[in-house]
Amino acid sequence: MFLLRKRPLRQIRINTSTLTPKFSSTTTSRETPVIMTDSTTPIHKVGTDDGWHGVIAQGSQFPPEKGRYHLYIGLFCPFAHRINLLLHLFHLTSLIDISVVKPYPKGDDKGWPGWCFPETDGEYEGATMDKLFGSRWLHEVYFRDDPEYKGRFSVPMVWDRGGGRVVCNESAELLRWLPTAFTPLLPTPSPQTSLSLYAPHLRPTIDNLSTWIQRDLNTGVYKAGFAPDQETYDKNVLPVFAALNRLEKVAMENGGPYLLGEEMTEVDVRVFATLIRFDTIYVQHFKCNLGSIRHNYPVLNNWLKNLYWNVPGFRETTDFRHIKDNYTKSHPAVNPRGITPMGPFPHVEEGVETDWSKLKAGGVEMREVRELEAKL
């Protein structure tokens, strides 16, 4: 077992000036991922807080091989949820195995010592021991690659057994290249090769939507939830619902069953990981309570229910115990007693309307929200 090098806490320099979640990768607020495919370009700046930007691809330093790569995730994290969902949508679970950290504790407000693994696989249901090294802490795995790493010990993170190093810990980049990374190993035709989340004819629309969805919704809930004062909260909660209002209309205009119509895209994956947590966590824990998905957004609620109950992969990768325990027991400044609410009940409503013409778009009618919506 790898023994962690003892180091003073003062050497762990982590940027806490942003309001992005502690478990997120350093580019969760980046709208367009910058993917490094040149094998001569360093994928990580050693000894800094820079993330890892490697790509699994033929001809690269990380060629696609069955069993070579290992994924570290937390079932609580929406950004890791995206990547776990990709494994299921593209049937990659037999090619990449995973280790799952516990949802809490996460360490101090600077991210130290970070996420930990259970000491046995039965300690916390759904979490696993570190299947590669038997590490107690995720930071031990990061230090195997860069002992002087100064950044966040984030999930998701892909490890290369062959090279003994981190491949990538940037969720936006993984979301873009992972769906096609193992295509050379898959039979053609197959469900894996026929699904495209970033189809050429939809790319301009996906890129446009992803800009404000990531800024105002995916990370917007954290800007509101971690607001240090009333003024900051008031400023940041409004864009969350402006984005939801606009997204409700986009979904209605496209007629379902996916947000852009008949084809599932990156946008569905990005939005699902946030909205599946919205009524359960963000409404009460992050005070995003101008409305809820089930009560104010009938189109988005119908879309969400369809993915969760009817599309393989979405329900299987959603663990509400991990989600609720993480947020409510890892943020003492927000929830000092660590009490986890029982509701809402049910976590996801049943009953999906397949005829979208019967739906009527909803939204939050607050004047300030509508003004921001008009600018999107």
HSE-CB of 307 using CA atoms within 13 angstroms = 28
> Would you call 207 helix, strand, or coil by DSSP?
helix
Tokens matching residue 279: 């009524």
Q: What are phi and psi of 123, to 5 degrees?
A: -65, -45
Q: Residue 368 and residue 376: Cα distance in Å, rounded?
A: 13
Helix crossing, 203-212 with 266-275: angle to 10°? 30
77, 116, 168, 288: which is the annotated catalytic residue? 77
CA distances from 106 to 74, 76, 325, 355 (A): 11, 12, 12, 44
116 classed as catalytic = no
The single-letter DSSP state of residue 14 is -
Put residue 115 in one of left, alpha, beta given phi > 0 → left and psi -120 to 50 → alpha: beta
Beta strand 69-73 with 157-160 is antiparallel
What is the chain's Cα-based Rg? 20
Catalytic residues: 77
